[in-house]
Amino acid sequence: MWKKRKMNLVIGAIISMVVLGFISVTFAVKKPTVVVVLKKGDSQYWKIMKAGMEKGFKDFGIDGKVIVPNDSTTKKQSQLLIRTYKEKPDVIITAPISSSVSPTLETFTDVPILLVDTDLPIKNKTAYIGTNNLDLGKKAGAFLASQLQPGNKIAILGGDLTFPVFRERINGATISLKNAGIKIASIKTGIPDDPETIQHEIIKLMHDQPDIKGIVTTHDTIALAVIKELEEQGLLIPVIGPDGLTDMVEFIADGTVPGTMAQNPYDMGYLSVETAMKVAKGQNVDKFVDSGVDIIIKENAHDRLDFYKKIVE
């Protein structure tokens, strides 16, 4: 009887050890879950960022996915964020379309929120990973000023200033241009990403102020349309549009444009996932993780193009 009881105790102990071991292994191999909600996914910029994120998922052993709204509106993005929050991932990373998604994000009180590309002043933000856009604007303004002479007039063409990114870039460019003695003869903002509208604006600008010697824009979409229209008019005026997209880098490579300031969407994506991994492990992270700014000129333009081609193919 005692032997039988003893055997049962031994068997029970073995079963308990096996069960505990299984549970331990299960928890040990459980990967942190991270969901990324971007603004859009069909442009090169976001494809490059997604590639950086996917590399991060692989390198840091994260169960991650990147999703985008089927319609790039704040309403659709907010709905997608709410659905994501209900899944209770360990960390949510998002590139907010605008400040209109702030009320939605501020209701997410028990899931860490990381902002990438676009920063917002929300209380429950764990960190922002991206570009220092004031610094980017300063460097763009300084680079344009280096192509000109003190006293020259320039124009600033910008997008919707409800986007903090654009406001910061204009403020930064203005500081550098004024410090260099360059006169800002015109500032036009609220310009949509529509080639015909941009064409109309540049035709009007050059008609009203033909002595403009340079143009700085808030982003490449405007800059590229401006460059093409100036070419049509046979005008050689330096244009700086800080972003560093392929079309702009190609203009630099062939000598059409002297250079630009480029963001690093691949690094931005990779660093956001690395930050998410640290947050999931309970580690402290910096409130601002700077993905840096690169100066692109003819000498390094082809290297940049080769890198873009490799990761988006």
pLDDT digits (tens, 9 = 90+) for 164-202: 889 999 999 999 999 999 999 999 999 999 999 999 999
Reduced DSSP (H G I as helix, E B as strand, rest coil) percent helix, strand, coil of the chain, to 5 = 50, 20, 30
The crossing angle, in degrees rounded to 10, of helices 246-253 and 298-312 is: 150
pLDDT of amino acid 173: 97
pLDDT of amino acid 16: 53
Q: Using alpha carbons, select from 67, 113, 68 the residue that is nearest to residue 90.
A: 113
CB 34 within 8 A of CB 280: yes
- Domain 133-262 part of CATH 3.40.50.2300: yes
What is the pLDDT tens value at each position of the chain, 313 positions in all?
Answer: 555 555 555 555 555 554 455 444 444 568 999 999 999 888 888 999 999 999 999 999 999 999 999 888 999 999 999 999 999 999 999 999 988 999 999 999 999 999 999 999 999 999 999 999 999 999 999 999 999 999 999 999 999 888 888 999 999 999 999 999 999 999 999 999 999 999 999 999 999 999 999 999 999 999 999 999 999 999 989 999 888 889 999 999 999 899 999 999 999 999 999 999 999 999 999 999 999 999 999 999 999 999 988 887 6
Domain-wise residue ranges, the chain = 32-131+265-292, 133-262
pLDDT of amino acid 133: 94
pLDDT tens figures, 30-62 = 899 999 999 988 888 899 999 999 999 999 999
Please state, rounded to an integer, the average pLDDT across all residues of the chain: 90
Q: For residues 242 and 232, what is the distance between their CA atoms, to the nearest angstrom?
A: 22
CB 130 within 8 A of CB 117: yes
pLDDT of amino acid 23: 46
Q: Using alpha carbons, select from 214, 213, 210, 170 the residue that is nearest to residue 191.
A: 170
Q: What angle do CA 277, 278, 280 make, to 5 degrees?
A: 65
pLDDT of amino acid 313: 67
From residue 250, how far is each of 126, 257, 292 by CA, in Å? Answer: 37, 9, 21
Instruction: Return the half-sphere exposure (C-beta side, CA atoms, 13 A cut-off) of residue 38.
Output: 22
| DSSP structural state of residue 257 | S
**Same fold yes or no, 32-131+265-292 and 133-262:** yes
Rg (CA), the chain: 25
The tokens describing 223, both together, are 């800059």
CATH number attached to the domain at 32-131+265-292? 3.40.50.2300
Q: Whole-prediction pTM value? A: 0.84
CB 293 within 8 A of CB 243: no
CB 124 within 8 A of CB 109: yes
